[in-house]
Structure formats: structure tokens, C-alpha cells
Structure 1
Amino acid sequence: IPDNIPPVISSMYVYRLNEKPFNEFTPKQYFQVAGGNGNYTLNKVSTINLSGEVGFGIVATDRHSGNSGLNGVYSIELFLDGKAVYTSALERFSFENSKAINAHVDYPALLNLKRSIQKSFVDPGNPLKIYSNLVNNGRINFNDGKLHQVKYVITDSKGNKSNLAFNVQADPKAVINTPNLPAGTTYQYSNVNEFNSEDVKVVIPKGSLYNDLNFVYKKLAKPQSNAFSAIHQIHNNLTPLHLGFEIWIKADSTLKKYQNKALIVNTNRSSQGGYFENGYVKAKPRNFGSFFIAIDTIAPTIVPINIANGKNMAGLSKMSFRISDNLSGIKSFNGYIDGKWVLMEFDAKTASLWHNFDEQTKPGKHSFELILVDMKENTKRYAIEFYR
């Protein structure tokens, strides 16, 4: 694809880091950007007055010539008075760390504003190997009362460049303080962190936090239906996790006869998996949120698409179904023609399940059975006869 269009810079952000970990409470200022064709300035502003420790962030996209696609930019360089203080280049981005893109961007803004702001400062627990030329991890102190030149250089994969230049006046009066955080417990990103109460235990493994965390826990009332514990609010979903965490929730006495059906759900009633052991249900959610114990006693559903009892399937190359489960998710599916196991193929995106007929299924009458089992061993059987 021909590409001689430089990246588009649409906005710039200033983060008042104030020597504190980045989180959803970090004050940030939005600056409109003017210009185009590789040269950008701040809209109606040439100098920003700043004080103390700040970080910058940028919204930039690469528009290929010849198509309308917006692509990620290849590299972002930030210069202070002509010296590089931050570079990110996406060539060395490895797949096993792809979740850490949540530490590269302003994750609260991604969730709340659906806006992808690339931070130009690096969280201490961010494992990505895409950074170089870092000075103080990209955190800049403006404490000297002087005028400074700041410049972004954004490059796409073909080498087309765009610049954004502006001045910063270090001004001791230009302070924006970080708001007071809610009462919580400080968890260091470099440690294993544990929270224990009578009803819940949480373990955040080392390598899961990207920053030190002011951890907040709340216990909320038990939901009205299909709930066997209180709701446990484990921090909030604005803090991204690299490895998830482990949770043990104490079960009500009412769970007794359903212990093998128990799992943990979030308040959207989305299954987090889990199993019952020694009075608790244990699971490994991927993100913080609010959780409680529920049960799954309902078998999966099977909807036949092109087959019915007694139908002649002679002109058809396959039999098709749509399958689903209400909560814990489908664990296995097995199909049998005339008592012999046959290959069933599944497409998770469309929840479609099918069997392609082969020479094993000769002309004549046949029996077919489909058995679906969910993660809590609830079983659904579908049995018919058909002709070829």
C-alpha cells in the first residue's frame, strides 16, 4: 500500500503526576492540536505553565494512503530542550505481553472516554520492551523557573514523520494537586499482595500490578436472586492487571446442596469460573470488580438449524446447530451417528456447531445423538433419527 501521509496528531494531554503513581485520580489537562501534513502546534496556546512532576500523553494515528484505515503509529519520541526523554517503538512488541498495552495507554481514559491516549511516561511494573531513551521513566520535573522547549516526533512504519512543538514555562504557581485518595491500603507493584477478611481473601500475584496501588475494598449487600454470598467490591476496573488475581469468597450455609454447581460471577453476572473448597469458592478473575457466589444448575441449549427428527438429509453436506450456555460456559460437545463418535466442528464467534457428512454415513436411516456438558457438569442431550 503506498503510504506518504504522515501520522495525524489529534490531541495532547498533560498529567500532573506530582511524584505519585499514575491512576484514575491523576489530574490531566487536555490540549487541542492545530495543523496538519506533518506539522502541528497546540491550538491557540504556545506556552503552558507547569510546576512539579508531570508526564505527557498523545493521541496520534497513522492514515495509510489508498485506504481509510486508521493504524497505530510506529514510534513516539518526546524531546525536552532537544534531548530525548522518552521513545516507544512498537516493533519489539511481543504477544505474551499484549495485555500490557493497558499500561502503555491511559487505561481509565480508554474505559471512560473510549479514547486511546498513549502515555509518554512508563509505569514501573510495565513489562513491555518497547521503550528506550528514558530519562526518569519519562516523568519530567519543571521546578527551575525556566522556559523549556518540548517536542513530539511521531513516525509511521514507512518513516513518515509528524512533529508537535510547544513551550513549557516552569512556574511554581501553576500547581494542580492530586485529589485525596479514598481510604485504602498501599500495595506495592513489586510484591505479592494479600487482602484478608472473614468473608473474602484476595491474592494479587507479583507482576500483576503496573503501579503501586491504593487498594480499596467494600462489602455490599447480597443480591436478591441466585446469590450465595455478599457482593465483594475488589478495588475497581479502572486499574488494569497483567495477570489477574485470585479470590476466595466464603459461601452462605444455603449453598450446601449446590456446592458442585458453585462459581463466582461479577455484578454483570458474567462467570469468572471457580470451584467450592473448604467453605469457600475460589476463582481467578482477570480484572478487578465486584464479585459474589452464584450457581449454575441449567443445562446448555441446542438449537437445530437444518435438521429435524425423520428428515431426509440426502442433499445436504452437513448438519448444523447453534449452542449456548447460560452461565458457566460449554465444556464439551460430542456427536454420535449410529452410536459411533463423529467429528463436530465449532465456531465460537457464531456459536455454530456442525458435522460434515462423509462416506461413513451411507444412504439409509441413521440415529444421531449430541451431548453437551457445561463447566458445572449440567448435561443436555439431543437425539433424533434422520435419512441420507
Structure 2
Amino acid sequence: MKFLRLFLVLSTTVIAQTNYPKDYFRLPLDVPVQLSGNFGELRPNHFHTGFDFKTLQREGLDVHAVADGYVSRIKMSPYGNGKAIYITHPNGYTSVYCHLQNANAEIKDYIYKAYYKEEAYEIELFLKPHELPVRKGQVIAFSGNTGSSQGPHLHFEFRDSKTEKIINPLLFGFDSAIKDTKKPVVSALYVYPVEDDVIINQSKRPLLLSLSLQKDGTYIATSVKANGKIGFGITAADYDNVSYNKNGVYKVQTYLNGSASFGYQLDTYSFDEMRYINALIDYPKYRQNSQRVQKLFMKTPYPLSIIKADQDNGVVDVLPNLASVYRIEVSDFFGNTTVITVPVNYDLTNPIVKREQKHSEYFVKAAKDNIFSKENFTVDIPAGTFYDDFEMDFDVKGKTLYMSDESIPVQSNFTITIEDDSYTEAEKEKMYIADIDSRGRAGYNYTWIKGNKFSAKVRSLGRYRLYSDTTAPSIAITASIEGKWISSQKTVQLRISDSGSGIKSYNGYLNGKWVLFEYDYKTGKITHDFSNGNVAEGANELKVVVEDKVGNTKTFETRFFRSQQ
């Protein structure tokens, strides 16, 4: 425990001492800076890894290399970052450009050669320094809306080229392009009982505290009267002068009687620690109403490098005959700060609101391996899968496994095994362990089969059962071209979907040769562009084959005519 606290303190000190170049990089866009997302913003299962630059609500804006360097990595995917380009710079940093519509002519040609070499749209390429060098200010691509983007924008990142750690773009001088004179807004302050017997303002449950604005611009919270160990949490957001939407806060620091208690500053972190966001926030509340309350204490310490905590990990121990003052400072990068003071006093008044009691014979110890079995289900939970110990609801009804609910966060994978000898070998090939959501929909989990045992690694609690998918995917062309002359048509589109295990692969063939179809999973459409020259003069045969994750396939074929004159 002492080593962990020392690591957190030292890592924060090293971060603060790093000097980043302020004038080396230019902005990636020419339009005025407006952000739809900033560095460290709280997102599902991760902290946001960069800036989301607004692109005037449209696609196709020039995207510039922020400095000299070379294209070191290219990743094309229907999901996540979509079309992404990575540029490694000679000063030790890498810039990343995501959700692109397309690359410039030279880079696009390189990508298209790789598409046809790999015969796949989803590719990842690693390049050498001499292959695609770029100059500062060169147009490398055009902004878009590919991957998991929910609207046109450019997602941009800085990374350390050696460690792959993500770094706040504001540290590289990008702050000079943003005007921000607004203080962060704390919309909610909660106080939590850390132990079962703690009473806070006559309640054994977390409480929302009222805030009163003072003449000096600070806030005073409702006085807290408690006994024993408590912790606090906030819901907070930041606004700049021009972006007109809320973003994440940069820094939070708390003090107990003037001494630093718990804090974090969003300068840099690694991808490996992203999921600890679920330990930082009040995860049950987030699952219940989508509110992200940032907890200002750790009941059980976790290795998130941005956190700097005292020996009590931010927990306040309310003792008799000792009045305390708890202060919260929430700041943005520009120094605008919101201050909240909370008076804390000892009190032993009996509770009016009692803690919800939950008892189960299945108790999960977070720091140890756990194995639970019932009927034909076995669940193997490695140490470190969960953040805290808890009593788990564990039951089998019919052929479905029930495990607590999704309000308990899961850090890493655990294994579910179902033993069932009632299926033939042919039937087993179409089966998988499915997670069942609140609407009764089955979600696919990769399942391996050994004899009569089906096993899958999963990352959430809930309902699970064996599921069979014998239905092939569906394919439909958006506008029929059968037997038609389509000489002026630039593209052909088909809509693909699968109601069971989901789409694993799709492949298009024009006159017997593989051709590129780009997949947009948000619309369910695949698109082939005729401009790459694979179409023949006169008659053409098009075939598309779609396969789902358990091997069911569907083939679509059509014949059309085209003139190249």
C-alpha cells in the first residue's frame, strides 16, 4: 500500500516537471478552434484521449501535418477512430488524426495498394521513415465522420512516441488558440458513507448536498454531520468562451483542514489505465441515470497515475470533538477555479434513512481468485477483476445464468463456462455464450468449445445463456442495377446486417476479382467506388459474400453494364 501511494505521488511529480515544446506544432485545421470534446473528458470506460475539433458541421476540411515527420502508422476501421493517420515527429512525439474522410492523393494511393494486397477494408499498416515523409503544414487528409464518430469532427491526439502515453494538447501551446475566462461548473456535490455503520445527516446512504454562492464567488455546502469514515464526490464540467458545449475539467484538488487530501490533474496517462475511470466515478449512479460523479476518495486504492492522494486516500475520518473544514478546488487549464467549502462535524444521531441491505451466499473478494458454480454453469473470476469486495447475486433459472447486475464495474475479463451434452457437433458450431440485455436481445461473445463445455471471456455482470444462430446475414442493394447500364453512376451500395451473432466479414468480387467495399456500420452500408478502375467495358458481374461470426454466409449476385467512354 505504501509503495502504491509513493508511486502515485512520484508519477504526478514527474508529470508536472516535464517541459513540452510550446511553439513547435501548428494547429491541424485552419478554421477557428472550437472543441466538442477536450482531453481527459469522462467517456464510457475511458478518458478522452485528445481534442475533438469542430469542423463547421461538415466534412472535407483540409487536415494539416502539425510538424515535420513521417506517416508511421495508418489504421482503417469501420469502428473506433475510423480512418486514422499517425505522424511521428523527430522531437519524440507522435500526432494522431482520426475519423478522416480520406487521405491526400499520395497517402490514399498507398492505402489503396494495401487494401488490394490484403483484400480487406479493415487494415493496420506500420511504415518506415522514408516511405511517406511529410512537412509541417502539408495537407495530409480531409476531415470526416468515419468510425464511431457521432458527427463530423477531427479527433486529434499527441502521444509520446516511445511510451505511447497520451498527452494533453494544451501542454504544447494549443492553449493560445482558445479563450477561456469561465470557471468550471460544479452541478452536484455528494457525500458518501465509506463504512456500513457510518451515519451522515441521519442517513446511511449517499447524500446530495446543497451549495450556497458567497459574495467572493466561492460556495459553501450544507454542513455535514457524521460519525466515522466518509468521502465526497462531484459532478463537474468546464466551458470555454467559444465552444458552447460542456467539456471535462482539468484539475481537481481537495484539502482537509488545509492539507492536500486527494486530487488529479489531466496532463498525461496510458491506455492501460483507461478503464480505471469506472473506479473513479460512482459507477452504479452512472449506470442508473448516466450521471458521472467523480469520487474524491478511494475506498480501495487503484493504480490510476493521475491521482495524488494522502495516506487516507482522500477518506475523511470524522472523530468526536473535532470539527473539520473540507475544501474542493476545481480548475481548468487557464487557472479559472471554483472553490467549495464543506463544514464537517461529528454527530451520532440515529439514522432516518437506512442503507439498503443485500445478502448473498456468494461473496466476491476482489483481491483473490473466485470460482462459483451452480448446476451446469461455472464462473472463474481472477483476482483484480473487480475494484471492491461485494455480495454477488448468483443464480441459474431455466437455462440462464444471473449474476448481480451491470451497476457493478468490471476491470478485466472473467470466464463463464457452460457444460451441456445435448447438442450435436454440427449444432455446436452455430452456438455461443450470449449476454442478454434488458430487452431480451442476445449479444455475441467469442466462445471456444472443448467437448461438451462452452467457454467465453466476458467483461460485465448480467444474464448469460447459450444461444444458437442458424440464420444467415441479409444483403440488399440500395438501388437495383440488375441488367442496367450505369455508366454515370459513381458508386454502388448495399445494405448488410445480421440479427444473430453479428457480421464477421464481407467481400465483394467484380468479374471474379476482389474489390474494395468500405463499410459504415452506423448506416449498415457497404460502398464500392467505380473510380478505382476495376469495372470492365460492357457487361460486369458483381458478387458480395457476407459471413457472420458463427460461419453462416449469404451471397448476393447481380449483373450490370457500364461504358468507360
TM-score normalised according to structure 2 size: 0.63
- Stretch moving more, 62-71 or 292-301: 62-71
- After the TM superposition, which of the residue ranges 56-65 and 85-94 deviates more from structure 2? 85-94
Within the candidate set 209, 223, 230, 1:31 is matched to 209
Residue 420 of structure 2 corresponds to: 251
User: 1:263 maps to what in 2?
Assistant: 432
Are residues 383 and 28 of structure 1, via their aligned partners in 2, closer, same or farther at CA, if it must alter by over 3 Å? same
Task: Provide the secondary structure at the position in 2 that maps to 1:168.
Answer: strand
User: What is aligned with 1:184?
Assistant: 361
Deviation per CA, 1:266-304: give whole Å up to 9, x if none: 223232322433222211222110111110001111121
Residue of structure 1 in register with 2:403 after alignment? 234
Are the structure 2 counterparts of residues 77 and 254 from structure 1 closer, same or farther at C-alpha, using a change threshold of 3 Å? same
Alignment correspondent of 2:179: 2
- Deviation sequence 1:32-88 (CA, Å, 0-9, x none): 22328952222xx3x221111111111111111122211111111111111111112
Structure 1, unaligned runs of 5 or more: 21-25, 222-229
| Alpha-carbon distance change, 290 to 208 in structure 1, aligned in 2, over 3 angstroms | same
- Residue aligning to 2:240: 64
Q: Shift of the alpha carbon at 1:112? A: 0.8
- Structure 1 residues 136, 299: CA separation in 2 closer, same or farther (over 3 Å shift)? same
Distance 2:270 2:299 in 1: 18
CA distance in structure 2 between the aligned counterparts of 1:188 and 1:68, rounded to whole angstroms: 45
CA offset at residue 133 of structure 1? 3.1
Whichever residue aligns with residue 443 of structure 2, its letter is S
Could you tell me how far apart the structure 1 residues matched to 2:558 and 2:444 are? 35
Aligned 1:48-87 pairs, distance under 5 A: 48-87=224-263
The one of 293, 297, 301 equivalent to 2:474 is 301
Percent of pairs identical after alignment? Answer: 28
* CA positional deviation for 1:31: 1.1
Q: Provide the C-alpha distance between the structure 2 equivalents of 1:174 and 1:89, rounded to a whole number of angstroms.
A: 38
Q: How does 1:133-148 map to 2 (within 5 A)?
A: 133-148=309-324
Q: Distance in 2 between matches of 1:88 and 1:38?
A: 23
Q: Considering only aligned residues, what root-mean-square deviation do their CA atoms show, in Å?
A: 2.2
> Which residue type is aligned with residue 444 of structure 2?
Q
Q: Does 1:331 align with 2:504?
A: yes
Structure 2's unaligned 5+ residue stretches are 1-177, 198-203
Cα deviation, 1:80-132, whole Å, max 9, x if unaligned, reads 11111111222233333222211110000011122111001125363321110
Distance 1:243 1:208, change over 3 A: same
Is the CA contact 1:189–1:210 (under 8 Å) kept in the aligned structure 2? yes
Contact 2:435 2:443 in 1 (8 A): yes
Aligned length: 373
What whole-Å deviation, never above 9, does each CA across 1:198-244 have from its counterpart, x for those lacking one?
311112233321112222201123xxxxxxxx110122211111113
Shift of 1:256: 6.1
Alignment of 1:162-241 (within 5 A): 162-173=338-349, 178-221=355-398, 230-241=399-410
Secondary structure class of the residue paired with 2:190: strand
Equivalence for 1:159: 335
Q: TM-score, normalised by structure 1?
A: 0.90
Q: Identify the residue that residue 108 of structure 1 maps to in structure 2.
A: 284
Q: 1:51·1:174 contact (CA, 8 Å) conserved in 2?
A: no
2:500 aligned partner, one-letter code: L
**Pairwise mapping of residues 335-346 of structure 1 onto structure 2 (< 5 A)?**
335-346=508-519
User: CA–CA distance in 1 between the matches of 2:338 and 2:561?
Assistant: 66
1:97 aligns with 2:269: no
Contact 1:41–1:164, Cα closer than 8 Å, also in 2: yes
In structure 2, the CA distance between the partners of 1:196 and 1:379, relative to structure 1 (3 Å rule), is same
What letter is aligned with 2:415? E
How far does residue 178 in structure 1 lie from its aligned partner after superposition?
4.3
